[in-house]
Amino acid sequence: MKASSRMWIALVALLLLQTSSFSQALRLPDDGVNLPRKTGTKIGVTNIDISWNAPGVKGREGKIWGTSIAWYGFTVLGFGSNVESPWRAGANESTTISFSTDVTINGKKLPAGSYGFFIAVYPDSCTLIFNKNTKGWGSYFYRKELDALRVTAIQQKDMKESRERLDYIFSKETDHSIEVALEWERWRIPFTVEVDLINTSLAEIRSQLSGAIGFDPPSLEAAAGWCLRKKVNYEEALGWMNIVTDPNMGNIKTFSALSTKASLLTRLNQQAEADKIMQGALENATTLEMHQYGRQLLGEKRVKEAMAVFEKNFKKNKGAWPTNVGMMRGYSAMGDLKKALEHAKLAVAQAPDDLNKSFLEQAVKTLESGKAL
């Protein structure tokens, strides 16, 4: 092959290589103009994640809102875009926000998923827009038919200190809600995210138990205990405990496991079976577990049953700590303050630390004054 032919083939190969590489454009630092940011939090089992590019005020205080930077309402941006577009709530690529479960935003439902986040800003209110397109460059090619939710928010325009970089802040957290706020310059645009804590948590528990931990007795017991505390899903929870305690399955006979099963049966109005299982649980209980169960019965106003548990604990464990405390509480609840005082004084001498001793000394004074605990 001639040298000229070889050179021509090499040149063609080089051009093809360059053409195929155009999609991999060089990425240069943005020189600190708009900084990529991410933040996130969790409510119950619900993950919230936000990604945005954070522009700076850069001396433009008082010239941000209602200008070409963050315009009011919708406007045609040009540069090939001929649709009316809201502000992109950040800079560069679309701001995105994702929720791992269904949520409500300011009281309106939004399904789990990832969304492009836009804001139609007005002088005294804002329309928050959650759009199904998360790949846009800002809002240049915004399509309103992809909106999953629009909801109104009221901005605060008097932040004491100007925030230089646009930021998303989480605050006012509860077990089922959180406030998210865009903060930039002296404006703050807040909205409240709420979750159905019970149903989302139960769905997560079921999902986990569908895997390998569905064969793990402690995990099944923990799930059933959660249902008891939240007062939900008793039938399924009892099924989990049947696996835990079945001799051919988990064969767990601890006080914790048996008492959890008994409590579920009680909630399902199967009291005779619950009582039978609870007796077996008490045989396997530690001194402290039996004492705590007696306290539980007192809290449920089942005084005679509580006293029977305290007496059983006292006899079985020969008056060891904290059985005298239980006897004191039981007798006091039954109105026998003289007997309660006797056990209170014995308990003071057994107190394992200053906190318990102080409480019992005060209990002695209360009983000596003729008052029940």
Tally of structural domains, the chain: 2
* Residues 187 and 218 placed together within one structural domain of the fold: no
What pLDDT score was predicted for residue 108?
98
Residue 44 lies in a domain: yes
Q: What is the CATH number of the domain that holds 328?
A: 1.25.40.10
Q: Is the pLDDT of residue 364 over 60?
A: yes
Residue 13 domain-assigned? no
Domain that holds residue 240: 198-368
How would residue 26 be classed by pLDDT, with cut points 50, 70 and 90? low
Asked if residue 182 and residue 267 are part of one domain, the reply reads no
Give me the pLDDT at residue 21, please: 47
How many CB atoms within 10 Å of residue 116? 26
24 lies in a domain?
no
- Asked whether residue 18 is domain-assigned, the answer is no
Answer yes or no: do 155 and 100 share one domain. yes
- Are 63 and 81 within one domain? yes
Q: What is the mean pLDDT of residues 67-90?
A: 93
Cα–Cα distance between 356 and 226 in angstroms, integer?
Answer: 29
Please check whether residues 190 and 207 belong to one and the same domain: no
By the 8 A CB rule, do 288 and 314 touch? no
Domain stops at, among 133, 168, 195: 195
Question: Does residue 22 lie in a domain region?
Answer: no
Q: 131, 118 in Cβ contact below 8 A?
A: yes
203 and 191 share a domain?
A: no
3-state secondary structure 153-197: ECCECCCCCCEEEEEEEEECCCCCEEEEEEEEECEEEEEEEECCH
Asked whether the predicted pLDDT for residue 15 surpasses 60, the reply is: no
* 184 assigned to some structural domain: yes
> Distance (Å, rounded) from C-alpha 77 to C-alpha 59?
24
| Per-residue model confidence as pLDDT tens digits over 183-238 | 999 999 999 999 999 999 999 999 999 999 999 999 999 999 999 999 999 999 99
Q: For the segment 126-169, what is each residue's pLDDT rounded down to a tens digit?
A: 999 999 999 998 899 999 999 999 999 999 999 999 999 999 99
